[in-house]
Amino acid sequence: MEFLTEYGLFLAKVATLVVAFIVVLSALISAGSRGKRASGSGRGAISIVRLNDELDDMRDSVKKSVLDKAEFKLEQKLEKKRHKQEEKDRKKQLKAQQNSTEETAEDDYRKRVYVIDFDGDVEASEVESLREEITAILTLATPKDEVLLRLESPGGMVHAYGLASSQLLRIRDKDIPLTICVDKVAASGGYMMACLASNLVAAPFAILGSIGVLVQLPNFHRLLRKHDVDYETISAGEFKTTLTTFGEITNKGRKKVKEDVEEMHVLFKNWVKQHRPAVEIDSIATGETWVGIQALERNMVDAVMTSDECIVLACDEADVFEVSYEIRRSIGDKLGAAIHSTLDRTVMSLWKRVRESSFYS
């Protein structure tokens, strides 16, 4: 009896803690939502960081650790003198531009490189930030500038990656050079985006390709029939329901889906061929993937290089800015997004391990 009493008290404490946690969490979510409504300051905020400065800071930190005090002091003095001269030249250049002809001004123009990131999931959910970043860049960028996209994606939904690709077309339509860097993977929908680059580079062992279309879903019709469970679907239109999770899959329905998949594959191949005419499309549109050095041999990329190399080289000749747009979310949205992202990444990780197991050592 004493044991039952103690056990009952323990359960009561646990229940109290759970209820308290739920109440506090609900209050935080409600407060976050109210704050979001009250602020009225837009959907998100753009952030811009000058990467030249970050690279200079990193270089200074290394010098400070490696050089002795006398050498470091001399380096600082020379660096300060160089920056002062660059600033003087820059002001002189700007003044000359104001008083010069348009042709001379273009010769004196210092190039700007805008760096953006796209880390794709199944739903290409980062397209919401991507569209805002591109809109911001296009308010100032000219054909003398460049956009550099660091792209990572194993692919996903066709319509979602179609929209992401359309955002990149906005850059190309303005005649602004678009460099896309792939450090790890750009497959399927990821390569649909990557092939739009005017200059496509990949790390030596980055995975590219998977130019194919896949439709798959589990079907429990036979299991339901075995246990005498009826599943009714009422639809209008001959092919409104073809493949479903619980309904019976007919040969006619299966054939229709196969036709749709083949048609989408043709559209995918034409898209890649249109934007990378150098590829032998029939030999690469088999659903296979290749690493960067193999992709170069097949004209799927223009160079083998990491995004870090591209950015460091760009900093030598241009002003380089990292542009990012963060969408404001309530606490509830953030919590839900975190759970969704965790589940999504777990599924994608398992999927990638199955697809790419032959590339692991």
Catalytic residues: 188, 240
End-to-end CA distance of the chain: 60
In the structure encoding, which two tokens stand for residue 212, read together?
Answer: 């194919």
CA neighbor of 83 nearest in space, from 49, 59, 111, 112: 59
β pairing state of 199-202 and 289-291:
unpaired
Q: Could you give the dihedral angle defined by the CA atoms of residues 96, 98, 104 and 110, in that order, rounded to the nearest 10 degrees?
A: 80
On whether the CB atoms of residues 119 and 102 are closer than 8 A, the answer is no
Whole-angstrom Cα distance, residue 164 to residue 181?
16
In single-letter form, the type of residue at position 69 comes to K
Q: Give the pairing of strands 319-327 and 112-119.
A: parallel
CA atoms within 13 A on the CB side of 222: 4
